[in-house]
Structure 1
Amino acid sequence: MAYLPIEEYGIIGDLHTVALVGSNGSIDWFCYPRFDSPSIFGAILDDEKGGRFQITPIRGGVTYKQLYIPDTNVLMTRFLTADGVSEVIDFMPIHRDGKPYKGRLIRRVKMVRGTMPLRLECHPAFDYGRVAHKVELCKEGAIFWNPHLNCALLTRIPLQTDGSCVFTTFTLREEETTTFVFQEIDPEEGCGAALSEAESDRLLEETEDYWQRWLSHSRYRGRWREMVNRSALVLKLLTYAPTGAIVAAPTCSLPEAVGGKRNWDYRYTWIRDASFTLYGLMRLGFTEEAEKFMGWIKKICEDLSPDGALQVMYGIDGRKDLTEEELSHWKGYRGSTPVRIGNAAAQQLQLDIYGELMDSVYLFNKYGTPIDYDLWVNLYRLLDWVCDHWHLEDEGIWEVRGGRRHFVYSKLMCWVALDRGLRLADKRSFPANRDRWLKTRDLIYQEIMTKGFNRKRNAFVQSYGSDTLDASCLIMPLVFFVSPTDPKMIGTLQAINQPPSRGGLVSDSLVYRYNVNEAPDGVGEGEGTFSMCTFWLVEALTRAGDLRTARFIFEKMLTYANHLGLYAEEIGPSGEALGNFPQAFTHLGLISAAYNLDRKLGARQNRSG
C-alpha cells in the first residue's frame, strides 16, 4: 500500500497516547500504553512490516473526507460514492475512573446513505514489529497474544485470520451502525464482550462532552478563533495526564526531507518548550494545564545533575535515559532512513534551555500561582550554573551534530535566564546572588551586541564571527532583549525577510531556520521551511508595527495547515507537510502569533474608530 502524505492524517487520543488516522481510514501509528511506548501500528514508517488497523471501502471511485466533531478531538472519516456514503468515527475515551489505565481505540462505522461494502484489516506489529504474536479468534472478536502485551479486537462481525492479521468484509444497511474496539486485555480475562451500540453511543457522547467542556474554558474571543481552538485541542491531546508533561510531537522519524536522514524521535518533553507552553496555555485561560505542567517542571528541577545542570529533554515521566537507537528492520517513511527511537540530543549542551525555563517560571509566578521557596532554591543553583557556563560553545537550539559554536540564541537565552531570575527575586524578595547575576547578565548583553551583530549584514547572525542568518534571532524582541523598532532589530528583520537567493531566509512567506549550505549542521541534506519560525516572523513584524505584512503572512500560513487544521514541523517546497506530526511548538507559535496580532489589530481599530 502506498504511503499517504503526512498531511493526510488526523489524530485522536486519550491524554496517555494517540493514534494517527489516515484519510483512507487506516490507523498507521499507535504507541501503547504511552506516547513513548513501542508502536503497535506503525505502517507510517514501514508500509509492509509496520502494522495497521484499516477500515476502507472495497470498491474504487471513492471520495475521502475528514473532519472533527466540532470543538472535540473526535474524528470522522467519510467515504462517498454514487451508491452510498459511510462514516467511521474514531475516538479514545478519556480515562477518569481512578482504575489502572487501559486505553481503548473505538471505531464506530455508520452507513449514512445507500450501501457500501467495506473491508476491515487489523494487523498489529508489536514493539516496532520486533515481537511476534499469535491470533486467537473468539466469539466476539480476536485476541493477539504476545509475551509482553495482549490485545483484543472486539466486534460482533465474524472475523478471519491468516495467522498474524485478522480481516473481514461487511456491508451495512442505511442508518445501521457497528463498533470495533481495540484494547489491552489481561491474559486471564479472555476476549470479553463486544460493545453494544447503546454503550458505543454513550462513550462517544461522553468523549465529545469532555472535549467540548474543556475547550469552553478558553478565554480567546479574537480573530481566527477556530484555528486557535484547534491548536489548543492539539496541545491538550499531546499532554500526558499523569504528569502534565507535553510531548513535542507524538511521532518519531517522520522525515524533514523525504529520503533523507533528518529523522528524529519527538515523543519527549523539551525544557525549551516550557515557556512557550505556559505562555500559550495561560493566555487562553487553561490555568489547570499550566499548573500541571509547572508541577512537572518543579520535579525536574528537584533532580538536577551534581553540578546543577538540566538535561535538554526528559521522558514524559521525568526519566533521563533516552538512548537513541536505529530500527534497521524498518525502511522508513517513503524510504527515509534511519528510523530512530530515543534521542541522543538529550545529552547535548544547549545553553538556551535555562532562559526558556526561567521565563516560564517568571510568567507562571506573574500570571498563575506564586512559586514556592523550595523551587526557588533549585532555580538559584541553576542561575549560578548559568553564570559559570554561559561563555561556553554549545549545540544550540537546533541541536546541531557538527560541532559546538557560540550560538547567539544560546547567549540570548542565558541573558533571559539571569534577567528573569533577577526580576523574580525582586518581585518575591527571594534571597539572590544579585551582584553576580546582574554583572553577568550585563556582560552577556554587551557581548551579544558586539560579537553577535554583523555590521556587514546589518543583522544579528547565527553565531559569533558568522555571516549566516538564523530565524531564532526573531525571538529577541519577544523576550524584551531589544526594542522591536531598534535599528539593529529592524535590520535583522529586513535581512531575514528576503528570499534565499538574496541571502535571506523567507521563501513565499515561509521561513527557513538557517541556510544549511552556509552553516553545515553535521546532518547534511536540505530541509523544509520551519513552521514555528514563520509564526515568529509574524510576531516580530507585529511588534515592529508592520501589521499589514504580519497579517498577510499569518493568513497565508493558515493555508498550509492540513484539512483538519494540523501542522507538522516543516513545510516542503510543494506545500507538503514534513517532519513529525502534529508538532506542539508550531501550534504554540500559532496561538501566540494570533493572540498578539489580534490584540494589535484591535487596538489600531479602536484608535481609528
Structure 2
Amino acid sequence: MNEYPDIADHGLIGDLQTAALVTTDGTIDWFCSPRFDSPSIFGALLDKERGGHFSARARGENVKTKQLYFPDTAILITRFMTEDGVGEVIDYMPVASDTPSERHRLVRQLTCVRGSIVFDIAIAPRFDYGRQPHEVTVTDDGAMFTAGETTMTLNLIRDADLERLARAEQTDAGDLRFTLSLVQGQTRGLVLEMNGAPEPRAVPVDEARRLLDDTAHYWQDWIGRSTYDGRWREEVERSAITLKLLTYAPSGGLVAAPTAGLPEQIGGERNWDYRFTWVRDASFSVTTLVRLGFYDEAAAFGRWLRDRIAEQAGSDTGPLNIMYRIDGDPHLSEESLEAWEGYRQSFPVRVGNDAAGQLQLDIYGEALDALWHAHNAGIAIGQPGWIAIGSLLDWLADNWDQPEEGIWETRGGRKDFTYGRLMCWVAFDRAIRLAVAYGRPAPLARWTEQRDAVYNQIMTKGWNPERRTFVQQYGETVLDASLLKMTQVGFISPQDPMWLDTLAAMETELVSDSLVYRYDPSASPDGLRGSEGTFSLCTFLYVDALARADRLDAARLTFEKMLTYANHLGLYSEEIAPTGEQIGNFPQAFTHLALIDAALTLDEHLAARRPGRRTNP
C-alpha cells in the first residue's frame, strides 16, 4: 500500500500569509507558520514519520470521502460517508490582516449531517522541520504546544456551559489523540492558533459559525469583483482564488507554490523549494489579474517590484534577482533536510533555493510587460517607479548580450538562450511605449537601438535555417516550449511562415496528446539527472498559440483535454507524469496563471469567429 497520498489528492486553504494542504481523507500534511516560507509544523507530505500531521477521520469500514470547496470561497469541505451516517470536516483559515503577523488560526469544524459519526483525531506537530522538540500541556478546553519561542494553542469548539469533552490522550512523543462522537445536527471542532492566546479556551459553536460566515463572505466578495463572464467561469474563478491564496498580503508578493520538495520525477532529484516570489511568475500575475479586473492586487505587486528595483540600483549583479523571499529579502540559501526521506523516497528534500543567484535575462521583459499592462488598465507609474525603470533599462542595455541560465533554471552553465533574448526585446519595447505614453524623459534612441539589435540577433542566431524553426539556444537544434510566448508578446505574427514552421516542429517533438514538454533534457543537458513530465504551463501556452494562429478547434480541444488533468477541486501542480498523475509542487501559480490567460484568449478569438466558420485543426 502506498503510504503517501497522491499529490493531486489535496485541497488548499490559507489566510494570505501562509497556507495548508488537506488530503481527501482529512489529514493536514503540510503547514508552515507564520509565513509560506517558514519551517513546517506539519510536513508528513515529505516524510510520513518525521514530518508531522493533523488528522480528522471518520471511524468505520469502507468509509467513502468526497471533497469540495464551499462555492466561491477557499473554504474546504471533506465529506465522510459511513454506514452509520455522514459527517463533514470544514477546513479554513480566517483571513489575516495586511500586516505581518505571528498569529494564525486554522479551523477544523466537524459536523454530523445525517445519522451518527465518530471522528478519530490526531495532532502530531513537528516544529522546524522536526528539528525542534516540543512540550504539550492538556486542559479541559484544549492543549498548549510549546517549542522554543513558538506556541501553538489547540482550542476546542464546544458549548462550554453544556458539556465537557474527554481530554486528549497524550503519547510519549508529545502528540495528542482523541475521539469525537456526533449525532445529526451537532457541530464541534478544533481551532489551532499559532502564537496566540496563552491558554486554551472553549470556542462556542455560535462563534465558530460566525467566523465561518465571515470567512465565506470575504471570499465571495473578493471573487465577485471578477469581470470574467466567459465559457470557463468555474475553472477561471477557482484559479483566481488559488492565486489569491498564494499571495502574501503584507507585501503583495506571490509565491510560486506553497510547497517545497515535491518531485518532478518520483524518486528523482528534481525537488525544489517554491515558497518564494519569482519576478517572472509574479509579473505574469499582474497581466492576468488585470485582465480579470483585480487591479488592487496588480498594483500591490507593482509596488513590490518597484521596491526591489530601487534596492538594487547600481548593483554589479543587475537591478533584479530572479526570486526573493515574500517580504523582499534576497537571501535564499539552500539546504537539504538530510533526515527526511522525501515524497515517496524522492530525495534530497531541499529548502531554500540556490537558483536565486542565477542570471536570467527574461525577467526584465516580464517585469516591463507587466507594468505596460498595468498602465493600460489605468494603474499609473509614479516618478519613483519611472526612475527605477530607467535604472533597469540602463543596466540591460549594457548587459543583454551575454550567456545566462535561462527561464527553466537549469544547472548546466550559462548559455545564449533565445527566450532570454526575446524578453529583453520585450523589455526595451515596453519601456519605449511607456516613455511615449507618459511623456517621460528617456534615452529613446538608445533603447530603440538596443531593441532592434536584439530583434535582429534573434532572427539570425535564434533561427535555425536547416530545421526551419526557432531554437532553445544559439547554435543548437533543440526546441523549447517557452518560445510559445513569441506571438503572445507581439514579437512575430501568429501567421508568419517562420512561426508556423516553429509551431509545427514543436507539435512533432514536444507535444504528446496535447500535453507539452518544456524541452528534451537528453538533447539539451541541464546539469541534473533524470527526466520530468509535461509542463502544465507550456500546455496552456500551446492553447494560447493555437488560438492566435486561428486554429481554434484544435485550441479548444487541447484546452478541454487539459482540464481533465485537474484534480477533483480544479487545482494543478507543476507537471503531469506520463501516467497522467500530477507531479511537482502543488498547486502551482504559474499553471493557474496560464490557465486563465488561455481561457481569456480562447474566449476572445471564439467570440470573433463568425457563426458556422471552421478553422484548421
What TM-score bracket applies, with the shorter chain setting the length?
over 0.9
What is the CA-CA distance between 1:60 and the residue it aligns to?
A: 2.5
Q: Is the 8 A contact 2:99 2:249 kept in 1?
A: no
Q: Is the 8 A contact 2:99 2:250 kept in 1?
A: no
Tell me: CA distance 1:242–1:606, structure 2 relative to 1, closer, same or farther (3 Å). Answer: farther
Question: Following the alignment from structure 2 to structure 1, what is the Cα–Cα distance between the partners of residues 101 and 441?
Answer: 43
The match for 1:160 is 169
What is the CA-CA distance between 1:574 and the residue it aligns to?
A: 1.2
The match for 2:494 is 484
The match for 1:8 is 9
What is the CA-CA distance between 1:291 and the residue it aligns to?
A: 1.1
Q: Per the alignment, in what secondary structure is the counterpart of residue 183 of structure 2?
A: coil
Q: Per the alignment, in what secondary structure is the counterpart of residue 172 of structure 1?
A: strand
Superposed CA RMSD in Å reads 1.5
The match for 1:245 is 253
Q: Is the 8 A contact 2:102 2:194 kept in 1?
A: no
Question: Following the alignment from structure 1 to structure 2, what is the Cα–Cα distance between the partners of residues 289 and 508?
Answer: 36
The match for 2:162 is none
What is the CA-CA distance between 1:329 and the residue it aligns to?
A: 1.0
The match for 1:46 is 47
Question: Following the alignment from structure 2 to structure 1, what is the Cα–Cα distance between the partners of residues 151 and 39?
Answer: 14
Aligned partner letter, 2:256: A
Q: Per the alignment, in what secondary structure is the counterpart of residue 602 of structure 2?
A: helix
The match for 1:275 is 283
Cα distance per residue 1:211-266 (max 9 Å; x no partner): 00100000000001000000000011111111111111000010000100000011
Aligned partner letter, 1:411: R
**For residues 171-570 of structure 1, what are the structure 2 equivalents within 5 Å?**
171-185=181-195, 189-304=197-312, 306-307=315-316, 308-498=318-508, 504-570=509-575
The match for 2:142 is 141
Q: Is the 8 A contact 1:394 1:405 kept in 2?
A: yes
Question: Following the alignment from structure 1 to structure 2, what is the Cα–Cα distance between the partners of residues 372 and 317?
Answer: 22
Aligned partner letter, 1:190: P
How many pairs are equivalent?
602
What is the CA-CA distance between 1:154 and the residue it aligns to?
A: 1.4
Question: Following the alignment from structure 1 to structure 2, what is the Cα–Cα distance between the partners of residues 369 and 170?
Answer: 52
What is the CA-CA distance between 1:336 and the residue it aligns to?
A: 0.5
Among residues 565, 575, 578, which one is paired with 2:580 in the alignment? 575
Aligned partner letter, 1:317: D
Overall identity of the aligned pairs, in %: 51
Question: Following the alignment from structure 1 to structure 2, what is the Cα–Cα distance between the partners of residues 129 and 559?
Answer: 37
Q: Which moved more, 1:530-539 or 1:141-150?
A: 141-150
Cα distance per residue 1:159-217 (max 9 Å; x no partner): 1101310011221111211120111245xx53231211100100000000100010000
Task: Report runs of 4+ in structure 1 exceeding 3 Å deviation.
Answer: 96-101, 605-609
The match for 1:501 is none
Q: Is the 8 A contact 1:95 1:101 kept in 2?
A: no
Q: Which moved more, 1:426-435 or 1:86-95?
A: 426-435
Q: Which moved more, 1:363-372 or 1:30-39?
A: 363-372
Q: Is the 8 A contact 2:537 2:574 kept in 1?
A: yes
Question: Following the alignment from structure 2 to structure 1, what is the Cα–Cα distance between the partners of residues 54 and 535?
Answer: 31
What is the CA-CA distance between 1:97 and the residue it aligns to?
A: 9.3
Cα distance per residue 1:1-33 (max 9 Å; x no partner): 810000000000010100100001000000001
Compute the TM-score of the two structures, normalised by the length of structure 2.
Answer: 0.96
Question: Following the alignment from structure 1 to structure 2, what is the Cα–Cα distance between the partners of residues 249 and 80?
Answer: 31
Question: Following the alignment from structure 2 to structure 1, what is the Cα–Cα distance between the partners of residues 282 and 350?
Answer: 24
Q: Which moved more, 1:64-73 or 1:159-168?
A: 159-168
Q: Is the 8 A contact 1:89 1:108 kept in 2?
A: yes
What is the CA-CA distance between 1:62 and the residue it aligns to?
A: 1.1
The match for 1:590 is 595
- Unmatched 5+ stretches in structure 2: 159-164
Q: Per the alignment, in what secondary structure is the counterpart of residue 353 of structure 1?
A: helix
Q: Per the alignment, in what secondary structure is the counterpart of residue 448 of structure 2?
A: helix
Question: Following the alignment from structure 1 to structure 2, what is the Cα–Cα distance between the partners of residues 316 and 218?
Answer: 25
Question: Following the alignment from structure 1 to structure 2, what is the Cα–Cα distance between the partners of residues 9 and 491?
Answer: 40
Compute the TM-score of the two structures, normalised by the length of structure 1.
Answer: 0.97
Q: Per the alignment, in what secondary structure is the counterpart of residue 212 of structure 1?
A: helix
Aligned partner letter, 2:450: T
Question: Following the alignment from structure 1 to structure 2, what is the Cα–Cα distance between the partners of residues 198 and 522?
Answer: 57
What is the CA-CA distance between 1:115 and the residue it aligns to?
A: 2.0
Aligned partner letter, 1:16: Q
Q: Is the 8 A contact 1:380 1:432 kept in 2?
A: yes
Q: Per the alignment, in what secondary structure is the counterpart of residue 7 of structure 1?
A: coil
Question: Following the alignment from structure 2 to structure 1, what is the Cα–Cα distance between the partners of residues 559 and 497?
Answer: 24
Question: Following the alignment from structure 1 to structure 2, what is the Cα–Cα distance between the partners of residues 605 and 180?
Answer: 56
Q: Is the 8 A contact 1:89 1:107 kept in 2?
A: yes
The match for 2:56 is 55
Cα distance per residue 1:112-132 (max 9 Å; x no partner): 112222210000000011100
Q: Is the 8 A contact 1:50 1:128 kept in 2?
A: yes
Q: Per the alignment, in what secondary structure is the counterpart of residue 534 of structure 1?
A: helix
Q: Per the alignment, in what secondary structure is the counterpart of residue 117 of structure 1?
A: strand
Question: Following the alignment from structure 2 to structure 1, what is the Cα–Cα distance between the partners of residues 379 and 85?
Answer: 55
Cα distance per residue 1:365-400 (max 9 Å; x no partner): 121322012211121111121111111100000001
- Unmatched 5+ stretches in structure 1: 499-503
Question: Following the alignment from structure 1 to structure 2, what is the Cα–Cα distance between the partners of residues 221 and 243?
Answer: 30
